[in-house]
């Protein structure tokens, strides 16, 4: 028999008033919520059973003693510091009662606290006997869900989606009992219809204020096409629009219309770069209101939201994405889709029956191309998600993707519907730039001399080192600006804003900017001349998109150059993409969509593996290795270490850290003033005492000599040299 306290089997105790939530109340509450979530993809009954079983292990006598002791409810048990594992109990019951459905029911239960297990560990965990003091319920029969044409890569997503329904339901039901005031802040949202109306009003006002130019007529045409094509059924769509064609607002217009027409619940926008996210989120907040746009990425500081209740609602929504519009990163989206952790997976069920916009889709990493494309296929077929790919440089996403040899290739999506018809030829109508490609190797001095021939010019290079070398060679008369990841996010944002202001002022004042690639995609700036170091065609065209953006200067030039006299291109992806461009034989209109398709086929032929971390071996089978796959699936192989630097407001944050210790809020604010330092540079700085560690794994450079107002973190400076001499 289960252990009874005052005739109640306890699940939670609210210490503020010592109120008890019984286990039966909790199981029923979780079952109801989980079933509600899973009903969206036809698995209501399975999710209800998962909810009813997930905490059966709490009936153990020793667990009941633990909960009473740790909360102070019963002083007799305060010496009990931990309770027995309770997650495996419900999983074991599920295996016995539902042997055919066991992987779908038991795995989410077994992992609902520690995360989804690798298969062997899951089997080992559920070999344990059901404790004698747990009542084994007789549950209703449950049929297999009616799913057609299941593919090998569907199962792991299916288990993870049920896991998401359970852990969100578990968290929400617990919160409703333990913290009802906080729970009341969730779930009040503007409808898709209301958001569409807001956007239509905004666009109408924008149209009234806009000049009747060719560019604006094309933007109106793009919007009209988006409204027309939004009536289509759920599926895969692409919006291929040259830079300056109003792609961002048009894509959201399509998404909201499509959501309304297909009864979808939210719009999720995934973007590769934080610089674009900040810009996009700011625009959307202006249109829809701060209360309707969730900005979810590592650099977002919640303290920028002044209304405390709205700020708390937003922070709660980052847990489960229960918001009408989410703007996030590719990393946050896809690493959650392949995660095994409770906190990451909690949001996944809210991707079901949503519109997913993948902006700058050409940046999806080819090392993970197969599992990403497969996951998108599953999200659409099983979970009713519509996907829109948007870019000026559309990659190949359909048919057979061929790699460096036949064994590398894979079958991608069957069909993607393009919103803009090919005969519209927007690349011709929006042609504002000509490429001049010079393959002859140049020096830093030669490139800086070329830049000096222009009053307003942007130069984009591949590495931080190249950016600083060219910047240092520019004279200090006029205005020269530098952008790279050696600068903290707040410094980058401030500099981009400064550039935008300067470009609107007196054209006689020289404005010369040297930047790494962080500025080339999606950042809304407009230079009459752009220089771009040799790279892949997609990167070159993105850089060209910062040139003559509004088309007010006729045809302008983007110069492509090589720094071959200084050094070869770094090995790896940059060289790979550049070689793909160089090996395109024939005469091309570089801006034509068919040229981009040819370029990506050239690039794919140089890829040795579209599934470098072997997701297929780990997950495309009944015996899924959830934890190992999650540990391997990292879109960015980041060998850098975030370090707080001494710039602007960071001094106050450092003092707050010392006096109050680390907190979630403070760490988010500190991220705005941190630089990700490469391991070798970090070790060098640490060896001379430049880096402090006031708390474990929190690193700080307090000496202002290491951070330059113009170029950011300085690895090579006089202070270091003098230290080594001493």
* Token couple for 668: 């988010």
The answer, yes or no, to whether residue 305 has pLDDT greater than 80, is no
Confidence of residue 7 (pLDDT cuts 50, 70, 90): low
The answer, yes or no, to whether residue 251 has pLDDT greater than 90, is yes
**Hey, is 335 helix, strand or coil?**
helix
User: Domain ends where: 572, 590, 608?
Assistant: 590
| Judgement on whether residues 167 and 211 belong to the same structural domain of the protein | no
| Judgement on whether residues 420 and 564 belong to the same structural domain of the protein | no
| Judgement on whether residues 549 and 694 belong to the same structural domain of the protein | no
| Judgement on whether residues 341 and 408 belong to the same structural domain of the protein | yes
Sheet of 355-359: strand order equals: 293-296, 325-329, 267-271, 355-359, 386-391, 236-240, 417-418
Q: Is residue 513 part of a domain?
A: yes
| Judgement on whether residues 541 and 469 belong to the same structural domain of the protein | yes
Which pLDDT belongs to residue 433? Answer: 92
Give the model confidence (pLDDT) of 535-554 as tens digits. Answer: 999 999 999 989 988 777 78
C-alpha dist (Å) from residue 182 to 67, 187, 271, 315, 440: 23, 11, 30, 11, 63
Q: What angle do CA 325, 329, 333 make, to 5 degrees?
A: 80
Inter-axis angle of helices 593-604 and 573-582, nearest 10: 120
Mean pLDDT of 375-394: 95
Q: Is residue 530 part of a domain?
A: yes
State in Å, rounded, how far the first CA of the chain is from the last one.
Answer: 74
Percentage of the chain exceeding pLDDT 90:
76
- State how far the Cα of 493 lies from the Cα of 275, in Å rounded to an integer: 8
- State how far the Cα of 179 lies from the Cα of 172, in Å rounded to an integer: 10
| Judgement on whether residues 385 and 437 belong to the same structural domain of the protein | no
Which pLDDT belongs to residue 551? Answer: 75
User: Is the entire prediction scored with pTM above 0.85?
Assistant: yes
The answer, yes or no, to whether residue 524 has pLDDT greater than 90, is no
- State how far the Cα of 583 lies from the Cα of 592, in Å rounded to an integer: 17
For the purposes of burial, counting CB atoms within 10 Å of the CB of 227, is it exposed (0-12), middle (13-18) or buried (19 or more)? middle
Give the model confidence (pLDDT) of 197-219 as tens digits. Answer: 999 999 999 999 988 888 889 99
Q: Is residue 547 part of a domain?
A: yes
Confidence of residue 345 (pLDDT cuts 50, 70, 90): very high
| Judgement on whether residues 217 and 279 belong to the same structural domain of the protein | yes
Contact present, 47 and 37 (Cβ < 8 Å): yes
- State how far the Cα of 448 lies from the Cα of 455, in Å rounded to an integer: 13
The answer, yes or no, to whether residue 586 has pLDDT greater than 70, is yes
Mean pLDDT of 527-540: 95
620 DSSP 8-state letter: S
Q: What is the CA radius of gyration of the chain?
A: 28
Residue among 366, 389, 394, 358 at smallest CA distance from 542: 394
Confidence of residue 6 (pLDDT cuts 50, 70, 90): low
| Judgement on whether residues 229 and 179 belong to the same structural domain of the protein | no
Q: Is residue 68 part of a domain?
A: yes
Mean pLDDT of 288-312: 81
Which pLDDT belongs to residue 719? Answer: 43
Q: Is residue 330 part of a domain?
A: yes
Across 183-187, 306-310, 412-416, 660-664, the highest mean pLDDT is recorded for 412-416
* Token couple for 116: 């989804």
- State how far the Cα of 726 lies from the Cα of 720, in Å rounded to an integer: 10
CATH at 325? 3.40.50.300
**Given the structure tokens 């020096």, which residue do they identify?**
443
Sheet of 698-700: strand order equals: 674-678, 640-644, 698-700, 692-695
- State how far the Cα of 417 lies from the Cα of 389, in Å rounded to an integer: 10
Contact present, 374 and 156 (Cβ < 8 Å): no
Inter-axis angle of helices 308-320 and 155-178, nearest 10: 150
* Token couple for 375: 């996951």
Q: Is residue 23 part of a domain?
A: yes
Helix/strand/coil (H/E/C) assignment for every residue in 562-589? ECCCCCCCCCCHHHHHHHHHHCCCCCCC
Cβ neighbours, 10 Å, residue 614 = 15
Which pLDDT belongs to residue 487? Answer: 95
Cβ neighbours, 10 Å, residue 569 = 19
More confident residue, 349 or 311: 349
Confidence of residue 721 (pLDDT cuts 50, 70, 90): very low
- Who contacts 332 (Cβ-Cβ below 8 Å, separation ≥6)? 270, 296, 297
Which pLDDT belongs to residue 316? Answer: 87
| Judgement on whether residues 42 and 137 belong to the same structural domain of the protein | yes
CA dihedral 38, 40, 44, 50 (to 10 degrees): 0
Confidence of residue 519 (pLDDT cuts 50, 70, 90): confident
Give the model confidence (pLDDT) of 46-100 as tens digits. Answer: 999 999 999 999 999 999 999 999 999 999 998 888 889 999 999 999 999 999 8
Contact present, 392 and 244 (Cβ < 8 Å): no
| Judgement on whether residues 173 and 198 belong to the same structural domain of the protein | no
Q: Is 57 left (phi over 0), alpha (psi -120 to 50) or beta?
A: alpha
9 DSSP 8-state letter: -
Residue among 492, 490, 498 at smallest CA distance from 650: 490
- State how far the Cα of 420 lies from the Cα of 424, in Å rounded to an integer: 7
Mean pLDDT of 621-640: 92
Q: In degrees rounded to 5, what are phi and psi of residue 593?
A: -55, -35
Query: Alpha carbon 667 to chain centroid distance?
Result: 19
Confidence of residue 240 (pLDDT cuts 50, 70, 90): very high
Contact present, 19 and 77 (Cβ < 8 Å): no
Give the model confidence (pLDDT) of 605-618 as tens digits. Answer: 999 999 999 999 99
* Token couple for 121: 């560990």
Contact present, 462 and 569 (Cβ < 8 Å): yes
Confidence of residue 148 (pLDDT cuts 50, 70, 90): low
- State how far the Cα of 218 lies from the Cα of 425, in Å rounded to an integer: 11
User: Domain ends where: 382, 397, 424?
Assistant: 424
**Given the structure tokens 């996210």, which residue do they identify?**
277
User: Domain ends where: 361, 389, 424?
Assistant: 424
Contact present, 94 and 60 (Cβ < 8 Å): no
Counted domains in the chain: 4
Domain extent, residue 650, equals 640-725
Q: Is residue 200 part of a domain?
A: yes
Query: Where do runs of H (alpha helix) occur along 71-143?
Result: 87-97, 102-110, 119-125
C-alpha dist (Å) from residue 549 to 224, 338, 543, 666, 695: 21, 37, 11, 38, 46
Contact present, 366 and 661 (Cβ < 8 Å): no
Percentage of the chain exceeding pLDDT 70:
96
Mean pLDDT of 170-180: 97
Contact present, 401 and 610 (Cβ < 8 Å): yes
Which pLDDT belongs to residue 726? Answer: 31
- State how far the Cα of 710 lies from the Cα of 680, in Å rounded to an integer: 23
- Who contacts 436 (Cβ-Cβ below 8 Å, separation ≥6)? 557, 558, 559, 560
| Judgement on whether residues 115 and 49 belong to the same structural domain of the protein | yes
Least confident of 202-211, 295-304, 402-411, 434-443: 295-304
Contact present, 400 and 413 (Cβ < 8 Å): no
Which pLDDT belongs to residue 297? Answer: 80
- State how far the Cα of 593 lies from the Cα of 423, in Å rounded to an integer: 11
Cβ neighbours, 10 Å, residue 223 = 18
The answer, yes or no, to whether residue 724 has pLDDT greater than 50, is no
The answer, yes or no, to whether residue 720 has pLDDT greater than 50, is no
pLDDT averaged over every residue in the chain: 91
Q: Is residue 609 part of a domain?
A: no
- State how far the Cα of 142 lies from the Cα of 21, in Å rounded to an integer: 28
Mean pLDDT of 657-665: 91
| Judgement on whether residues 14 and 160 belong to the same structural domain of the protein | yes
C-alpha dist (Å) from residue 466 to 199, 469, 493, 563: 42, 5, 21, 9
């Amino acid at each position: 028999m289960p252990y009874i306290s005052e005739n109640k089997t306890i699940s939670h105790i609210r210490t503020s008033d010592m109120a008890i939530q019984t286990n039966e109340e909790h199981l029923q509450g979780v079952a109801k919520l989980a079933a509600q979530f899973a009903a969206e993809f036809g698995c209501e009954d399975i999710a209800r059973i998962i909810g009813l079983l997930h905490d059966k292990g709490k009936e153990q006598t020793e667990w009941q003693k633990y909960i009473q002791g740790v909360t102070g409810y019963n002083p007799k048990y305060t010496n009990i510091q931990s309770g027995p594992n309770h997650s495996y109990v419900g999983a074991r019951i599920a295996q016995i009662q539902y042997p055919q459905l066991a992987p779908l029911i038991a795995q989410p239960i077994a992992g609902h606290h520690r995360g989804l297990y690798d298969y062997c560990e899951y089997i080992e965990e559920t070999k344990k006997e059901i404790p004698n003091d747990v009542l084994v319920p007789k549950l209703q029969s449950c049929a297999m869900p009616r799913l057609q044409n299941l593919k090998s890569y569907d199962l792991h997503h299916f288990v993870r989606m049920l896991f998401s329904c359970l852990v969100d339901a578990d968290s929400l039901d617990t919160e409703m009992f333990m913290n009802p005031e906080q729970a009341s802040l969730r779930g009040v949202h503007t409808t898709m219809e209301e958001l569409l109306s807001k956007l239509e009003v905004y666009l109408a006002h924008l149209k009234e204020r806009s000049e009747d130019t060719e560019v604006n007529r094309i933007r109106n045409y793009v919007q009209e096409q988006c409204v027309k094509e939004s009536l289509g059924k759920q599926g895969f769509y692409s919006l291929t629009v040259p830079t300056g064609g109003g792609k961002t607002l048009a894509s959201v217009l399509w998404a909201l219309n499509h959501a309304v027409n297909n009864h979808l619940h939210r719009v999720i926008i995934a973007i590769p770069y934080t610089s674009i996210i900040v810009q996009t989120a700011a625009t959307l907040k202006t249109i829809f209101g701060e209360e309707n746009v969730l900005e979810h990425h590592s650099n977002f500081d919640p303290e920028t939201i002044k209304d405390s209740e709205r700020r708390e609602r937003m922070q709660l929504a980052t847990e489960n994405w229960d918001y009408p519009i989410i703007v996030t990163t590719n990393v946050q989206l896809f690493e959650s889709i392949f995660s095994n952790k409770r906190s990451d997976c909690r949001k996944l069920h809210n991707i079901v029956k949503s519109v997913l916009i993948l902006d700058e889709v050409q940046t999806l990493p080819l090392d993970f191309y197969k599992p990403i494309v497969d996951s998108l296929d599953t999200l659409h077929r099983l979970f009713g998600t519509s996907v829109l790919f948007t870019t000026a440089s559309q990659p190949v996403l359909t048919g057979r993707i061929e790699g460096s040899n036949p064994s590398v290739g894979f079958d991608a999506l069957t069909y993607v519907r393009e919103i803009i018809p090919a005969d519209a030829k927007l690349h011709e109508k929006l042609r504002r730039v000509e490429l001049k490609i010079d393959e002859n190797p140049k020096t830093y001095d030669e490139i800086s001399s070329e830049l000096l021939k222009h009053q307003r010019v942007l130069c984009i290079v591949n590495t931080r080192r190249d950016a600083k070398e060219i910047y240092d060679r520019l004279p200090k008369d006029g205005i020269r600006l530098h952008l790279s990841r050696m600068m903290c996010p707040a410094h980058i944002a401030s500099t981009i804003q400064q550039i935008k202001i300067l470009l609107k002022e007196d054209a006689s004042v020289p404005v010369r900017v040297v930047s790494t690639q962080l500025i080339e995609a999606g950042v809304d700036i407009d230079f009459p001349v752009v220089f771009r170091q040799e790279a892949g065609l997609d990167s070159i065209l993105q850089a060209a998109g910062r040139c003559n953006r509004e088309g007010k200067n006729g045809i302008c030039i983007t110069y492509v150059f090589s720094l071959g006299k200084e050094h070869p291109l770094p090995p790896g992806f940059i060289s790979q993409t550049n070689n793909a461009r160089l090996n395109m034989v024939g005469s091309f209109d570089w801006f034509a969509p068919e040229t981009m398709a040819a370029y990506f086929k050239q690039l794919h032929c140089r890829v040795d593996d579209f599934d470098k971390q072997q997701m297929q071996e780990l997950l495309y089978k009944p015996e899924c290795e959830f934890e190992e796959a999650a540990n391997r699936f990292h879109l960015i192989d980041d060998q850098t270490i975030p370090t707080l630097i001494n710039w602007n407001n960071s001094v106050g944050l450092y003092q707050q850290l010392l006096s109050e210790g680390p907190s979630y809020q403070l760490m988010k604010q500190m991220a705005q003033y941190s630089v990700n330092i490469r391991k070798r540079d970090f070790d060098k700085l640490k060896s001379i005492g430049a880096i402090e560690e006031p708390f474990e794994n929190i690193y700080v450079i307090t000496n202002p000599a290491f951070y330059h107002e113009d170029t950011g973190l300085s690895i090579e400076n006089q202070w270091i040299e003098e230290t080594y001499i001493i």
